[in-house]
Amino acid sequence: MVAYIVRRTLLMAVTLIGMSIIIFALLRLVPGNIADILFDSAGFVDPAEKAALEDELGLSDPIPLQYWHWISGLLQGDLGFSYVSELPAIDEIAPRIPITAKLAALALFFSVLFGLPLGVISAVKQNTPLDYFLRVISLSGLSLPSFWLALLILMAFVTWFGTIPIYTDPPDNLWDELLLYSIPAAAVGFRSSALIMRLTRSSMLEVLRQDYIRTAKAKGASDRSVNYGHALGNAVLPVVTIIGIEAAFLIGGLIVTETVFNIPGIARFLVEAIQWRDYPIVQNLVMFIGVIVVLTNFLVDLLYVSLDPRIKYE
C-alpha cells in the first residue's frame, strides 16, 4: 500500500507538471494579450507605450523564462499579481474558493441524496410504473441544459414570490447562506443526480443477476437483506467513481450557474480572467482545478480499498 501511494504521488506530480506546461502554452497560443486588449479598446496604439507595458508585465520575456517565473513563484506560494486589478492573485482567488466550494458541495450532496436511493429503488422495482417514472425523470435531468433550468427557476421565483434569489452581499448567517446556495445547487445538482441514478440502476441490475444473489435468495434471505446487504455494497463501486468525477467537475464546471445566479465564485471569475488575458489568474485557477481533479481521483482509488476488500494495491 505504501509503495502504491508513493507511485501515485510521483505520477500526480508528473501529471501536474505536464498540465502546467499545457496550460501555459495554450494561453500563449491564444491571439492577443492584455496589452493588445487595452490598447485596442482605447482606439489607438502607441508602440512605445505598449512595449513599456509588456516589459512591465513581463510579457516580453522569453516564454521559458515566463514559465519559470510562474512555477518558481507557485512553489513558493507567490501566485503573482493580477494584470487587471493589480492586486496579488492570491487575494483575488482565495475569497472566491469557499463560495464555489460550498456551492459544489451542496450540489454534490443533493446529487447523492436523491440519485443513489432513487437508482436503487428503480433497479429493485424494475419494469414497474415507478421505475418508468424515475427513468423519465433521470432522462430529463440528463437532457435539460443547466442554464435553461436555472433560468426557469428564476422565472418561477419571480412569478410565485416576486423576488429572485440572486447573490448580492455575503449571507449574514448559516441559514441565509443555505437558502441562497440551495437553489443554484439544486439546479446544477439535478443533472448529477440523474447521472448517479442511471448508473446506480444499471449497476444494481447487473449485480442482482449474479449467482451469489440467487444463492442468497435460495437460502431464504429477505429481499431487503439481498438488495441492501449483498447487492448494494458491490454495485456502489462504479457509482463512487462517478461521484468523484462529478465532485471534481463541479469545482470548475459551475460557470453557467454562477453567471446566471450572479455568484462571485472561481468559475465565473475564470471566464472573466480569460476574456482579459489575465495570465496569473487564469494559470493559477486552472492549476487549482487540476489539483482538485487529481486529488479526487487519488482519494477515490483509496476509497475502493475500504469498500471492496478484494482490491489490493501493491
- For 172-211, write each residue's pLDDT tens digit: 777 777 877 888 888 888 888 888 998 888 888 888 887 7
pLDDT of residue 88: 87
- Please check the confidence at residue 262 and state whether its pLDDT lies above 70: yes
Per-residue model confidence as pLDDT tens digits over 267-278: 888 888 887 778
pLDDT of residue 311: 63
In this structure, is residue 180 part of a structural domain?
yes
Partnered with residue 88 across adjacent β-strands are 81
In this structure, is residue 286 part of a structural domain?
yes
Angle, vertex CA 39, rays to CA 35 and CA 40, nearest 5 = 110
In this structure, is residue 58 part of a structural domain?
no
Which among 243, 239, 258, 244 is positioned nearest to 102, based on CA atoms? 258
Q: What is the mean pLDDT of residues 257-281?
A: 82
- Please check the confidence at residue 41 and state whether its pLDDT lies above 60: no
In this structure, is residue 5 part of a structural domain?
no
Contact 189, 110 (CB under 8 A): yes
Contact 32, 26 (CB under 8 A): no
CA torsion, points 132, 138, 143, 146, in degrees to nearest 10? 150
Band of the pLDDT at 8, cuts 50, 70, 90? Answer: confident
Range of the domain at 133: 97-307
In this structure, is residue 243 part of a structural domain?
yes
The fraction of the chain above a pLDDT of 70, given in percent, is: 89
Burial class of residue 146 in the structure, from the number of CB atoms within 10 Å of its CB (0-12 exposed, 13-18 middle, 19+ buried):
buried
In this structure, is residue 149 part of a structural domain?
yes
In this structure, is residue 260 part of a structural domain?
yes
Minimum mean pLDDT among 88-92, 219-223, 241-245: which range? 219-223
- Distance of alpha carbon 24 from alpha carbon 284, whole angstroms: 10
pLDDT of residue 280: 83
The CA distances from residue 72 to 11, 53, 66, in Å, are: 20, 23, 10
- Please check the confidence at residue 257 and state whether its pLDDT lies above 70: yes
- Please check the confidence at residue 163 and state whether its pLDDT lies above 70: yes
Whole-model pTM?
0.79
User: Is the torsion defined by CA of 233, 197, 297, 263 positive or negative?
Assistant: negative
Which CATH number goes with the domain that contains 125?
1.10.3720.10
pLDDT of residue 51: 73
Partnered with residue 81 across adjacent β-strands are 88
Higher-pLDDT residue of 125 and 217 is 125
Band of the pLDDT at 40, cuts 50, 70, 90? Answer: low
In this structure, is residue 280 part of a structural domain?
yes
- Please check the confidence at residue 224 and state whether its pLDDT lies above 80: no
Mean pLDDT of all residues belonging to the chain: 80
Per-residue model confidence as pLDDT tens digits over 125-143: 888 898 889 888 888 888 8
Scanning the structure block, which residue is given the C-alpha cell 489568474? Answer: 281
pLDDT of residue 310: 64
Q: How many structural domains are present in the chain?
A: 1
